[in-house]
Amino acid sequence: MTARAAAERIRKAIGLINAVEDGAGDEEITPTEIAEAIRDCLELSDVDRVPNVRRYLGEALDAVSDGMPADFVAMTLYAALGALQEGGPTD
């Protein structure tokens, strides 16, 4: 899987969190769903190719588990996305 695909998975997790913050949608998004989206990102080998991406994703997962506010989790995922994008080409 390419770095571009990894970035898309991280964006999907951010989208879930933004939906929670906005209160958008008819169905409730649970912390379990957010954690699963982050775990999906952690399964990718590309997160190990760029320094700090796995660490940020792990911190985001911990934050969900600890019940931290959605904006904190989103900021951590944005840090992972930024590190991934700065770390190399998104072929």
Q: Please give the average per-residue pLDDT across 46-71, as a whole number.
A: 93
User: In the structure, what pLDDT confidence band is assigned to residue 91 with cuts at 50, 70 and 90?
Assistant: very low
Q: Is the dihedral of CA 61, 63, 67, 69 positive or negative?
A: negative
The C-alpha atoms of residue 41 and residue 54 are separated, in whole angstroms, by: 9
pLDDT of residue 88: 60
Domain positions in the chain: 3-86
pLDDT for residue 3: 78
Mean pLDDT of 20-32: 74
Cα atoms in the 13 Å half-sphere on the side-chain side of 82: 7
In a 3-state reduction of DSSP, which class is residue 20?
helix
CATH number of 3-86: 1.20.120.430
Please check whether residue 9 is in contact with residue 90, taking contact to mean a CB–CB distance below 8 angstroms.
no
The stretch 8-34 carries a mean pLDDT of 84
